[in-house]
Structure formats: C-alpha cells, structure tokens
Amino acid sequence: MDTQKFGAHLQGKLVVVTGASKGIGRGLARIIASEGATVALAARDVEALQEVKETIVGEGGKAYTFALDLRRVDSIRSCFARIEAELGCIDVLVNNAGMGNPIPAEDITEEDWDWMMDLNLKGTFFCCQEAGRRMLKQGKGRIVNISSQASVVAIPHEAVYCASKGGLNMLTKTLAVEWSGRGVTVNAVGPTFVYTPGTAKRLDDPVFLGSVLAKIPRGRVATIEDVASAVLYLASDGADMVTGTLLLVDGGWTAL
C-alpha cells in the first residue's frame, strides 16, 4: 500500500489557478498554497493578484502572478508559456475564472452571448489545451474545471451561463476520454451558490436568498472551503481513477 497517496497532496506541486484575483479563486489559491503547492495566480487584475500573492506569502506559502485575459487566446498562450518558463512543469490546472450575468432570456444580446461563452467556455477550453499539451508531454497532470450546479439545473435569467457550464461539463468528459489514458485526468466541480463579489448583490437580497435556501436541503449556501475540499481531492494523487466526473457541491439541490 502506498500511504504517501494520503495527505500532503500538493506538496511541491505547481498549481495554476485562473481567476485568482477575487472570490472563489482567491480562496482556492490560498488553500492550495497552504497544502504546500506553489501557486501561479492568473487573472486580468494584476494589482489584485499582487495582494493575493502577498497574503499567501504572509501565510508562509509560495505564489507568483501572471496577467491573463481569458477572452483572448493569444493572452492564454503567452500566460502558459510564461508560467512554464518561470516555474517549470504544471502539475494541476484549476480553471476557476468565469462569471454569470443574470439577464432575462428575451433581452440577451449577441454581445452578451459572446462575452459569456468566450469567458466560460472558449477561454476555459484553450486553458485546458495549453496545460493539457504540457501535461501530456510529462505523462501526468490534473485539470479541475469549476463548473456549477447551473450546469445541470436551470436557473432563471441565466440561460447563457447555464449553457456555458453545461458545455463545460461535456468538455470535461471529452478531454477526460481523450487524455486520461496518457495520465491527465480532467474533472469538474459544481458548486451551488457561494457568497463572492460575483453573487453578493443577489445573495444580499433576502427574498433571493430565501428562494435559494428553499432549494438546498443542507440549509445553507456553499463556502469557498466546501469548494476547495472538492478541488483538493480531484487534484490529489489519490483521485487517479476519477476522471470525466462532475462533483456537485450543492447541499442536495440537484437531488431534490
């Protein structure tokens, strides 16, 4: 039995976290760094990334910042090239960057559609491709995509978001089938609502919060720590036989 598979999962590993400047990504980066990994923090807001880096370093961790605009494939390519040149082999990619923008379906414009699909689906695919090409050469790697419960249940006014996350689930499965035989597992985590800058306005509305809690048997929204626990598992050596799956962190919403 290889007891090394249990505990200190990310010691000495290089983990890339996209959208690490705020919200879930910021928290994931701190927790991943606390597990002993070096974290490459990527997002557009480099000042915010610098603050996250300083927080991690202050907590005894290792982190580096990289500018990344997920809506530009050239930015994705140069970001991963820089990470490799400066930090070496990427062991884990956490595709966290992504956003929602609630709009009634009848009012969604072509621009709204393109903006969200480019960010949540196209950009995430090309991050998978950049990391995947490098991981396939190494013969090992872990990719964890932050999807959503909204990938499997409809959320009113989130037509494009739900479609983008549903697409991300299929991307996860397809890449898992293509790459797992060569050592690269690909999985997704599907959280229910988490309190972040992206959801604060809606969750601060007691009527909205009440409608959300009525659908969560566990009786609360998720925390960043809940999401991180799932990510840490899927990023670990112990999850080697788990690929192409969606791990829902939804307090039972989708079981209703």
Catalytic residues: 161
Rank residues 135 and 194 by Cβ distance to ligand NAP and give the closer one. Answer: 194
Using CB under 6 A as the binding criterion, the count of chain residues that bind ligand NAP stands at: 30
For position 70 contacting ligand NAP by CB under 6 A, the verdict is: yes
String of DSSP letters for 90-112 = --EEEE---------GGG--HHH
Rank residues 194 and 235 by Cβ distance to ligand NAP and give the closer one. Answer: 194
* Binds ligand NAP (CB under 6 A): choice among 51, 69, 112, 237: 69
Rank residues 38 and 192 by Cβ distance to ligand NAP and give the closer one. Answer: 192
Q: How many CB atoms lie within 10 A of CB 214?
A: 10
For position 194 contacting ligand NAP by CB under 6 A, the verdict is: yes
Taking CB under 6 A as the rule, which mask of x and - marks residues 203-242 in contact with ligand NAP? ----------------------------------------
For position 251 contacting ligand NAP by CB under 6 A, the verdict is: no
For position 101 contacting ligand NAP by CB under 6 A, the verdict is: no
Rank residues 71 and 140 by Cβ distance to ligand NAP and give the closer one. Answer: 71
* Binds ligand NAP (CB under 6 A): choice among 33, 131, 146, 230: 146
* Binds ligand NAP (CB under 6 A): choice among 14, 97, 228, 230: 97
- β-pair partners for 2: none
Q: Strand, coil or helix: what is 228? A: helix
For position 24 contacting ligand NAP by CB under 6 A, the verdict is: yes
**If residue 25 lies in a helix (H) or strand (E), which one and from where to where?**
helix 23-34
CA 202 from chain center: how many Å?
21
* Binds ligand NAP (CB under 6 A): choice among 198, 208, 209, 213: 198
128: its two tokens:
């998978």
CA distances, 255 to each of 49, 136, 207, 225, 249 (Å): 37, 36, 23, 21, 11
CA distances, 45 to each of 27, 61, 64, 236 (Å): 16, 21, 14, 29
Rank residues 66 and 179 by Cβ distance to ligand NAP and give the closer one. Answer: 66
75: its two tokens:
């930015």
Contact 16, 32 (CB under 8 A): no
Contact 31, 83 (CB under 8 A): no
- Look up residue 42 and give its DSSP letter: E
Judged by the rule CB under 6 A, the positions of this chain that interact with ligand NAP are: 18-19, 21-25, 43-45, 48, 68-71, 96-100, 119, 146, 148, 191, 193-194, 196-199
